[in-house]
Amino acid sequence: MDPGESLRAAVLAVQDAIEAAGERERARIEAALPRHRPSALNLAHYLGLRNLDIRRLQLDLAAAGLSSLGRSEGHVHDALLRLSAWLSPEHAAPPGNTLDRSKAEARLHANTRALFGPRPADRHVYIMVTAPDAAEASEPWADAILHAGADLLRINGAHESPSEWARIVAAFTARAAALGKPGRVFVDLPGPKLRTEIRELEDAVLHFPRCKDRQGRTIAPTPLELVAEYHEGAEIPVPAQWLPQLAAGDIVSITDAGQRRRSLVVRGPSERGVAADCDRSLFIIAGLALEWRRGSALLGKGQVGPLPRQPRELRLDAGDAFVLNESGQSEDAAPALALAAPAVLAALRPGERVILDDGRLVAVIEAARADGLLCRVQRALKSPTRLRSGKGVCFPDSTLALGAMGPLDEAALAFALEHADGVAASFVHSAQDVAAIGARLEAAARPGFGLILKLETRGAMRNLPEILFEALKHDPVGLMIARGDLAVEMSFERLAEMQEEILWFGEACHLPVIWATEVLDTVAHTGVPTRAEVTDAAMSMRAECVMLNKGPHLAAAVRMLADIIRKMEKHQFKKRSLYRPLALARAT
């Protein structure tokens, strides 16, 4: 057979396969919103294509000077039709009514604008920033990040409260309106995040750190409060009879838990007792001796009052065992972690992994005992690694049925529907999770309210096609590569592969993708980039939006990211290299 005929036969075979895939998914395609049905059909075609191994065909097409299908995600059928037309003996013209490259890009851009608003004036890629605590999110803060290039705001619904979120939104939207920017706001729903508890208690140790700058220099005294009875925060319980008599300038001396002498200088009355300052850090436990002096006169002796007992801090290393159960108690000397999720515990099996505290500890379930699941640490970030109560846990090898919405999600959703432009659904595992949140948004009847699906679990990657078909029943909708939890669940080694797949599938169904987690994180926290971060930021512009986390130098990180994106957009669009003239190529 002629090489050209052989090549055309191979292309036609692929074309038949993707058309058959489209027919198999006909019900899902018809279930999509009418405006998304061409995207659903293309997604089905892309799934059909990626079910084949066409690497040999791609090399042969490239050798013949033809498209190797490597950039056809958004217009699979049209790309194959054009190839078969070019390879036909008569070089027939391809049909003109297909979803071609320009139409696919137009659909992607339209969906992006529907979710994020008008695109930035000087680039295609949007920049989303994570809001700091309400105390820091002032109008000057908002002004700084908006001038630096921020377009969108993300509020983490797992932290603070609706009243504090409202202050953040008010500051951001006021400054965005003043600058003529859309300034859309999205709220992260906390999602079904599992957390362990340590029920075993130990004597409390209170740490009062120094107020210091980035160089470790003390910049202000450590503020604290002397009270009759400990309640919370930076408080030290002292003899109650002292409080009415303590005067500004008095000194309460103490030798702290580390056997270091410290002086607490009284400032005056406070809300619950007496305000004081210490110029050094200190560690406080109950029963420490106190001396009260005014000048050289000793006015009283006492001791630190009772402090509430606190959960024990575990120290675990590779090879250590612990028990995971509902009670937080073990039948022997092994430390125990409580998980208040009996249905989850019942679904776990020996041999499955247990990942704690964002991957700092990785264990495996060895056996089911009468008192719970015996787990053994396989890898620890440090030797040993400290584990506190309330840290997250995930089970990447287990099949778990976790609800999409809990009480915290309900509160965040109610706030978002009133104050924001969309929500991001966390820890999506299945199409059922998408359907559940989608039904809530449909019932709220807010046209144009956005839905972002955070892809951060093994279940999400396993069920990605079903999740995407369900997503196409909603509008506007987008995807987020939540690389933090995704790396924990899938392993850091597979993260690079997974983030590429999400980009490809996002383009296949013409939905915008957000590239998130630790982008220019060192810049945001210190003001100085690392080389690897700059490369990561350059790669991020293949998504439609890039998200930055909070930090004291966030404006500098936004400014640097915007500059990198502007430069890189002259060289690349998605996976396609763009050849503008290069200065170094000019003849000398």
Give the model's pLDDT for residue 488.
Answer: 86
Pairing of strands 353-356, 450-455: unpaired
Cross-strand pairs, 372: 369
**Which ranges of the chain have pLDDT less than 50?**
none
Nearest to 15 by CA among 64, 72, 71: 72
Give the model's pLDDT for residue 112.
Answer: 98
Task: State the CB neighbour count (10 A cutoff) for residue 35.
Answer: 13
**Which DSSP category does 392 fall into?**
B
**Which DSSP category does 240 fall into?**
G
- How far is the CA of 487 from the CAs of 381, 462, 484, 499, in angstroms? 15, 15, 6, 10
Give the model's pLDDT for residue 576.
Answer: 82
Query: What gap in Å lies between CA 547 and CA 539, rounded to an integer?
Result: 13
Give the model's pLDDT for residue 489.
Answer: 87
- Domain 109-192+402-577, CATH number (from 3.20.20.60, 1.20.200.10, 1.10.10.10, 3.30.950.10): 3.20.20.60
Pairing of strands 450-455, 422-425: parallel
Give the model's pLDDT for residue 220.
Answer: 85
Give the model's pLDDT for residue 373.
Answer: 96
DSSP codes joined into one string, 505-531 = HHHHTT--EEEESSTTHHHHHHS---H
- How far is the CA of 283 from the CAs of 203, 204, 222, 255, 304, in angstroms? 13, 10, 12, 9, 12
**Cα–Cα–Cα angle for 419, 422, 426, nearest 5°?**
120
Q: How far from the centroid of its chain's Cα atoms is residue 163's Cα?
A: 23
> What pTM did the predictor assign?
0.83
| H helix intervals, 179-281 | none
Query: What gap in Å lies between CA 262 and CA 552, rounded to an integer?
Result: 30
Query: What gap in Å lies between CA 129 and CA 107, rounded to an integer?
Result: 25
Tell me if 236 sits within 8 A of 226, measured CB to CB. yes
Angle between helix 3-24 and helix 37-50 axes, rounded to 10 deg = 130
Tell me if 525 sits within 8 A of 551, measured CB to CB. yes
**Which DSSP category does 584 fall into?**
G
- How far is the CA of 349 from the CAs of 321, 376, 554, in angstroms? 16, 14, 43
Bond prior to 476 in cis (omega within 30° of 0): yes
Query: What gap in Å lies between CA 99 and CA 539, rounded to an integer?
Result: 27
Domain ranges of the chain: 3-99, 109-192+402-577, 204-303, 312-394
Radius of gyration of the chain (CA): 29
> Do the domains at 109-192+402-577 and 204-303 have one common CATH topology?
no
**What is the CATH architecture assignment of 204-303?**
Beta Barrel (2.40)
Q: What are phi and psi of 134, to 5 degrees?
A: -60, -30
Tens-place pLDDT, residues 214-260: 667 788 889 999 999 999 889 999 999 999 999 999 999 999 999 99
Query: What gap in Å lies between CA 438 and CA 430, rounded to an integer?
Result: 13
The verdict on domain 312-394 having CATH code 3.30.1330.80 is no
**Which DSSP category does 368 fall into?**
E
**Cα–Cα–Cα angle for 571, 577, 578, nearest 5°?**
55
Cross-strand pairs, 292: 252, 300
Give the model's pLDDT for residue 150.
Answer: 97
Q: Where are the beta strands (DSSP E) in 148-256?
A: 152-156, 184-189, 201-202, 206-208, 211-212, 218-220, 222-227, 235-237, 251-255
